[in-house]
C-alpha cells in the first residue's frame, strides 16, 4: 500500500510565509496531502505557527520577526495622571498583525478595519500611524536616528517595520498617549521621577531664542509634531503649574519671509482666541517677540500637567482605516459626513467640523489636510473632536524660496445645506479679520490684506444671510 504524501515543516512554513494565514484544509490542498499530515506537521512548530481563531474560523499564521526587535510588543497608554496601563499586545505575522486586547475590544475595531473577531488585521494598526515622525520636528528626529537605526532618511518613505523599529528605540515621548514596548515605557516612567526640563514663564524671552537656534541646527529631542513651520517643544512653569507647549517661531524679523511669518503667527493666535470663544480650541496661546524672532506658544492638548497624556488620532489615520473610505473624499466635512452616516461620529462633532472648515476657508487656510484635524482616541464610539490646531491664513505664507507672493482670496459660497454652519463660521471670520487688522504687531502690508479680506468676508456674510 503506497504511503500517503507528507508535508515537511519547511514546506509548510514557506506556504504560510508566502500566502499569509491559511486553514488546515487550504494547506492540505495546496500541498496535495491529507489534512491529518498538516496537523501532525503543525504540532512540531512550537510557537512559530499560531492558530488564529477557533473551530471553522481556525487559521494558522507564521510569526514574523521584525529585524532585531522581536515579533510581539505590548502597547501601553499613559493616563492623565502619568500612570501606565497595558492596552493591547501587538504580534507580527507573515500577512498581517494580531491584536490581543488587555481589556474589552474597542468599539471601533470592526468599523475601522483594525482587527476581526479573532484580533487579526492585515494592515498596520491605524492608531500607530500618527507616531511616524512628521513635519519639521519629524525630519529633525529622522536626521538624528536614521543612521543609527538604519532607516530611510525621509520618514515619509518608512514602511511598517521601519516605524516599529523607530517606536522601539524612540517611542517614549511621541504625540498622544501610546508607548510601544517595555524599554520605551521604562524611560517614560523614569522621566516622572524628576520634573521635566522646563522654562520659567519669566525666562521665555531669553530661553526661546536659544531653543529656536538649537531646533534649527539639529533638532532638539522630543516628540514629533506635524507641520512644516519651524517649532520646538518644551514645558513652561507658571505660578507652580507645569504644562507642555509647542512653540512655533518665525525666521529673523529683518527678512521679508520672517516678517510675513511673524504676521501669520499673530493671525494664528487671533484665530485660536476666536475659536476658544466658540468652544472649538484650547485657551492659552501666547505671542512673544524675542531675539529678533516672533514666537507663538500654544498648550499641547495631548498632554496633562507635567507627565500626563491624552490619546489623539488624526483624521488622516482614521479615514485611512475606515471601511469604505476614499471615494473622492478630500475635505474635512466630506470625511465627517461619511463617519456620521456610519454612526462613527458624535452629532455635535459633525457640526463643529463643518464650521471649522468654513472658518478655515474664510480666513485663507489653504492647508486643511487630513493631518490637521484630530479626534480623541477613546475605546468607545462615537468619535469626539480634539481642539483646533494649525488654523491660520496659510494662503499668504511665503513661497518655498522665501519670496512674498501676491495671492488671490476667492472663497466659495455655501450650498443651501451648508448655509447655517457657514453663517456661524463667517461671523467668526469677520471678527478674526477685524482683530488682525487692528493689531499693532502686524506689518502694514498684512494689515492692508486683513482689511481687504475682512471687507470681502463681511460682504459675503451679508449677502448670504439674506439668501
User: What's the predicted TM-score (pTM) here?
Assistant: 0.91
My answer on whether 139 and 239 are in the same domain is no
What is the average pLDDT across 85-107? 94
DSSP 466: -
- Compute the distance between CA of residue 223 and CA of residue 141 in angstroms, rounded to an integer: 8
Task: Clarify whether residues 58 and 81 are in a common domain.
Answer: no
Burial class (CB in 10 A: 0-12, 13-18, 19+), 115: buried
Last residue within a domain, chosen from 169, 191, 213: 191
Instruction: Give me the domain span that covers residue 42.
Output: 9-62
Burial of 373 (0-12, 13-18, 19+ CB in 10 A): buried
Mean pLDDT, rounded, for 119-145: 84
Report the distance separating Cα 212 and Cα 265, nearest Å.
Answer: 15
Q: Is the pLDDT of residue 99 over 60?
A: yes
Q: Both 104 and 25 in a single domain?
A: no
Name the pLDDT band for 351 (thresholds 50, 70, 90): very high
Q: Is residue 32 part of a domain?
A: yes
Of 191, 206, 228, at which residue does a domain stop?
Answer: 191
At residue 403, does pLDDT exceed 60?
Answer: yes
Beta bridge partners of 308: 304
Give a yes or no: residue 130 inside a domain: yes
What are the CA-CA distances from residue 253 to residues 159, 271, 291, 375 (Å)?
A: 39, 21, 9, 35
109 and 147 co-located in one domain:
yes
pLDDT of the residue at 126: 92
SS3 300: coil
pLDDT (average), residues 92-96: 95
Task: Say yes or no: 146 and 236 in one domain.
Answer: no
Outline where 313-418 has alpha helix (H).
Answer: 315-321, 332-341, 347-362
Percent of the chain residues past pLDDT 70, beyond the cut: 95
Indicate the pLDDT class of residue 222, thresholds 50, 70 and 90: very low
Verify that 79 and 187 share a domain, yes or no: yes
Q: Is residue 368 part of a domain?
A: no
Q: Are residues 204 and 223 in the same domain?
A: yes
Average pLDDT over all residues of the chain: 90
What is the model's pLDDT at position 218? Answer: 56
What tens digit of pLDDT does each residue of 228-259 get? Answer: 689 999 999 988 889 999 999 999 999 999 99
- For position 87, what pLDDT does the model report? 97
Contact 266, 231 (CB under 8 A): no
How far, in Å, CA of 96 to CA of 466, rounded? Answer: 55
257 within domain boundaries = yes
pLDDT at 220 over 50: no
Query: What pLDDT sits at residue 5?
Result: 66
CATH number at residue 50: 1.10.10.10
Q: What is the pLDDT of residue 224?
A: 40
Rounded to an integer, what distance in angstroms lies between the CA atom of residue 402 and that of residue 399?
5
Supply the DSSP string of 213-263, one letter for each residue.
HHHHHT--SS----SSS-EEEEEEEETTEEEEEEEEEPSPTTSHHHHHHHH
DSSP 435: H
Asked, for residue 405, whether it belongs to a domain, the answer is no
Is residue 207 domain-resident? yes
Residues 272 and 244 in one domain: yes
13 and 55 share a domain? Answer: yes
In a domain, 410, yes or no: no
Answer yes or no: is pLDDT of 179 > 90: yes
Give mean pLDDT, residues 276-289.
Answer: 97
**25 found inside a domain:** yes
30 CB-near residues (< 8 Å, 6+ apart): 15, 19, 22
In terms of domains, do 216 and 259 share one?
A: yes
Residues 17-39: tens digit of each pLDDT: 999 999 888 888 887 888 877 77
| End-of-domain residue from the set 24, 40, 62 | 62
57 and 99 housed in the same domain: no
- What's the structural domain count of the chain? 3
pLDDT for 228 equals 67
- In 3D space, the residue among 366, 249, 388, 422 whose CA is nearest the CA of residue 315 turns out to be 388
Distance of CA 78 to the CA centre of its chain: 17
Pair 202, 96 in one domain = no
Amino acid at each position: 500500500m503506497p504511503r500517503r504524501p507528507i508535508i515537511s515543516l519547511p514546506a509548510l512554513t514557506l506556504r504560510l510565509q508566502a500566502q499569509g494565514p491559511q486553514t488546515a484544509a487550504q494547506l492540505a490542498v495546496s500541498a496535495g496531502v491529507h489534512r491529518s499530515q498538516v496537523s501532525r506537521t503543525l504540532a512540531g512548530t512550537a510557537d512559530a505557527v499560531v492558530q488564529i481563531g477557533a473551530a471553522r474560523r481556525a487559521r494558522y499564521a507564521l510569526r514574523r520577526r521584525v529585524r532585531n526587535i522581536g515579533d510581539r510588543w505590548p502597547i501601553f497608554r499613559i493616563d492623565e495622571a502619568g500612570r501606565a496601563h497595558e492596552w493591547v499586545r501587538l504580534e507580527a505575522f507573515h500577512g498581517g498583525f494580531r491584536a490581543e486586547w488587555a481589556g474589552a475590544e474597542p468599539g471601533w475595531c470592526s468599523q475601522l478595519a483594525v482587527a476581526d473577531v479573532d484580533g487579526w488585521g492585515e494592515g498596520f494598526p491605524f492608531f500607530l500611524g500618527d507616531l511616524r515622525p512628521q513635519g519639521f520636528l519629524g525630519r529633525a528626529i529622522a536626521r538624528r536616528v536614521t543612521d543609527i537605526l538604519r532607516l530611510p532618511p525621509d520618514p515619509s518613505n518608512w514602511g511598517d517595520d521601519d516605524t516599529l523599529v523607530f517606536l522601539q528605540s524612540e517611542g517614549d515621548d511621541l504625540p498622544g498617549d501610546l508607548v510601544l514596548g517595555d524599554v520605551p515605557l521604562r524611560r517614560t516612567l523614569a522621566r516622572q521621577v524628576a520634573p521635566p526640563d522646563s522654562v520659567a514663564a519669566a525666562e521665555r524671552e531669553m530661553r526661546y531664542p536659544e531653543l529656536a537656534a538649537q531646533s534649527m541646527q539639529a533638532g532638539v529631542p522630543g516628540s514629533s509634531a506635524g507641520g512644516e513651520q519651524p517649532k520646538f517643544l518644551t514645558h513652561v512653569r507658571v505660578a507652580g503649574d507645569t504644562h507642555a507647549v509647542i512653540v512655533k517661531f518665525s525666521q529673523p524679523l529683518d527678512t521679508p519671509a520672517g516678517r510675513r511669518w511673524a504676521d501669520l503667527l499673530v493671525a494664528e493666535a487671533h484665530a485660536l482666541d476666536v475659536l476658544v470663544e466658540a468652544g472649538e480650541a484650547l485657551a492659552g496661546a501666547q505671542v512673544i517677540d524675542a531675539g529678533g524672532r516672533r514666537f507663538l506658544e500654544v498648550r499641547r492638548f495631548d498632554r496633562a500637567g507635567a507627565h500626563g497624556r491624552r490619546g489623539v488620532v488624526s483624521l488622516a489615520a482614521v479615514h485611512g482605516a475606515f471601511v469604505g473610505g476614499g471615494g473622492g473624499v478630500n475635505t474635512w466635512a466630506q470625511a465627517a459626513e461619511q463617519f456620521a452616516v456610519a454612526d462613527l461620529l458624535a452629532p455635535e462633532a459633525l457640526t463643529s467640523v463643518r464650521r471649522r472648515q468654513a472658518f478655515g476657508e474664510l480666513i485663507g487656510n489653504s492647508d486643511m489636510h487630513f493631518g490637521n484635524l484630530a479626534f480623541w482616541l477613546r475605546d468607545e464610539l462615537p468619535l469626539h473632536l480634539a481642539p483646533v490646531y494649525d488654523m491660520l491664513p496659510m494662503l499668504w505664507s511665503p513661497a518655498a524660496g522665501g519670496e512674498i507672493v501676491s495671492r488671490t482670496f476667492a472663497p466659495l459660497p455655501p450650498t443651501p445645506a451648508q448655509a447655517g454652519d457657514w453663517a456661524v463660521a463667517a461671523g467668526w471670520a469677520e471678527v478674526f479679520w477685524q482683530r488682525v487688522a487692528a493689531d499693532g504687531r502686524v506689518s502694514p502690508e498684512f494689515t492692508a490684506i486683513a482689511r481687504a479680506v475682512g471687507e470681502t468676508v463681511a460682504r459675503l456674510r451679508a449677502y448670504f444671510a439674506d439668501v
